[in-house]
């Protein structure tokens, strides 16, 4: 199952350049890297990235992230994936821009089906 992290351009560039990241400022503050499932990603974008341009959607395979990936109750009592270690480029399955069109982020077609 693929899980997803939304990065700002500078955060994505840091991961690509350094080969690893401890995440965005909120991740650093919380002590883990926040991920979303395919069904949670759009709501995450709307809640935390409203109107933000220059975003990237980064996919990682949950089963390869090891025991440091924990599924924990978060927004709406839903289970969210949280990674308790740095994310590396080797963890990234794919990444692509997450454009803002008419005020809404445009996720890849078939995201939910492709994530399974």
The hierarchical CATH code for the domain 2-98 is: 3.20.170.20
Q: pTM above 0.85?
A: yes
Predicted pLDDT at 74: 87
pLDDT, tens only, 22-45: 999 999 999 999 999 999 999 999
The terminus-to-terminus CA distance of the chain in angstroms comes to 5
Look up tokens 């270690």; give the residue.
85
> Could you tell me the residue ranges of all domains in the chain?
2-98
Question: Beta-carbon neighbour count of residue 114 at 10 Å?
Answer: 12
Q: Which residues of the chain have pLDDT under 50?
A: none
pLDDT given at position 111:
81
Q: What integer pLDDT is reported at residue 83 of this predicted model?
A: 98
Q: What pLDDT, on a 0 to 100 scale, did the predictor assign at position 37?
A: 96
């Amino acid at each position: 199952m693929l899980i997803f992290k939304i990065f700002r351009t500078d955060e994505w560039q840091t991961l690509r350049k350094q080969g690893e990241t401890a995440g965005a400022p909120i991740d650093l503050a919380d002590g883990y890297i926040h991920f979303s499932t395919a069904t949670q990603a759009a709501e995450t974008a709307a809640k935390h990235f409203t109107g933000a341009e220059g975003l990237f959607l980064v996919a990682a395979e949950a089963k390869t992230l090891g025991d440091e990936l924990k599924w924990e109750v978060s927004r709406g009592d839903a289970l969210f994936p949280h990674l308790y270690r740095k994310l590396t480029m080797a963890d990234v399955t794919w990444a692509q821009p997450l454009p803002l069109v008419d005020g809404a982020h445009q996720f890849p077609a078939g995201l939910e089906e492709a994530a399974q």
